[in-house]
Amino acid sequence: MSNPTAVTRRRLSLGGSTSALRVRFLGVVIFLAILVIAFSLLSPQFFTLGNGRSVLFTAAILAIAAAGQSLVVLTGNLDLSVGSIMGLTAYVVFDLAGKNAALQPFVVILALAIGALLGFINGVFVTVLQIPSIVATLGTLSIYRGFVSVYANAKEVTSGTLPPWMRALATQVWLGLPSYVWISAVIIAIVAVALTRLPWGRKIYAYGSNPKAARFYGLSSTRIVIGAYVGAGMIAAIAGLLLGAQVGNINSLLANGIELQVLAAVVIGGVSIWGGSGSVIGAAIGAVVLATINNGLVLLEVQEFYRLLIQGAAIIAAVWVDAIVQRRVIGSGTRRRIMEVES
């Protein structure tokens, strides 16, 4: 009885056959459109090519981090350690590449390995040790950050240790857009395809929408959740590397506190905080929404108050819409009701 539910929900989020789920994704797009129109009317500088580039550039790294975070959120968990993973990876990679020039061609692989390890640790804490994800990743947020702080010993490293092509990336423009925007788009596309086409991704949706049904279906919850955390860790590591290359001289505090921004992007992007539904493209648009709000309000020279207020309101509005959608999806699927009674 449980299996059909997982399958039904999977189909819903895949094909978008239920209008309610489509409404949520459309909601983010419409919200972004309204923001763009409003800012364009209010400020003549907003709707220019240069400014559009700058919005996308600021959104790029946040969007990558949000893509990683959505993997974990889709399983019904959280990763608060994303900022610490970014900071740790950037610092350690820069430092190692500086000490040993032979490592320079392998900086990306090195970063991916570190990110995978940190994500694996998160996943083990959540699955094997069964520590609730919010507590486990709150712990690793402190542990990873503390580790960089001890490792760095109050020193700074510079992106000068990176291979030249990596340093140049931060300022390059490809086909009219900053290179980071393209990199971000490619990463998001890879994650989106992996989530919708690969068994790895389909299992994440199946597990997230109904963990118990997924278990009865023979899926290993441990493997799925650890897989999501490892993926999230690797993506966060890349985001950290890019941020480090952009900033230049970094200390142990790089990307400190970014986790709540990332979470906000994911929530605004329509990824359900209950797990199981939402898309990585939505999360990326959520990051663009946040960047647009910041950029537009800076141009309008309004106070910090409005920026925080609009951001906060956007988050609450997004979960409100999500709650309505959830209710409609559950209401339309009588099977789910039957299952609830049986369990």
Q: Which residues bind other proteins (CB under 8 A)?
A: 76, 78, 80, 125, 128-132, 134-136, 138-150, 154, 210-212, 215, 221, 252-253, 257, 260, 263-264, 267, 273-275, 303-309, 311-316, 318-320, 323, 326-327, 330, 340, 343
* Least Cβ distance, residue 306 to other proteins (angstroms): 7
- Distances in Å between the Cα of 24 and the Cα atoms of 28, 97, 186 are 7, 44, 24
- Nearer CB in complex with other proteins: 178/244: 244
- Nearer CB in complex with other proteins: 169/318: 318
* Least Cβ distance, residue 68 to other proteins (angstroms): 18
3-state DSSP call for residue 164? Answer: helix
* Least Cβ distance, residue 234 to other proteins (angstroms): 21
- Nearer CB in complex with other proteins: 57/147: 147
The conformation of residue 249, written as its DSSP 8-state character, comes to E
Radius of gyration of the chain, Cα coordinates, nearest whole angstrom:
20
- Nearer CB in complex with other proteins: 42/260: 260
- Nearer CB in complex with other proteins: 103/273: 273
**DSSP H helix total and E strand total for the chain:** 15, 4
Q: Is the dihedral of CA 226, 276, 323, 5 positive or negative?
A: negative
- Nearer CB in complex with other proteins: 112/243: 243
Q: Where are the strands (E) in the chain, listed by range?
A: 157-158, 173-174, 177-178, 249-250
Nearest residue to 28 via CA among 306, 318, 319, 264: 318
Nearest residue to 8 via CA among 341, 340, 330, 343: 330
Distance CA 15, CA 309 (A): 35
* Least Cβ distance, residue 223 to other proteins (angstroms): 13
* Least Cβ distance, residue 63 to other proteins (angstroms): 18
* Least Cβ distance, residue 258 to other proteins (angstroms): 12
AA identity, residue 130: Q
AA identity, residue 333: G
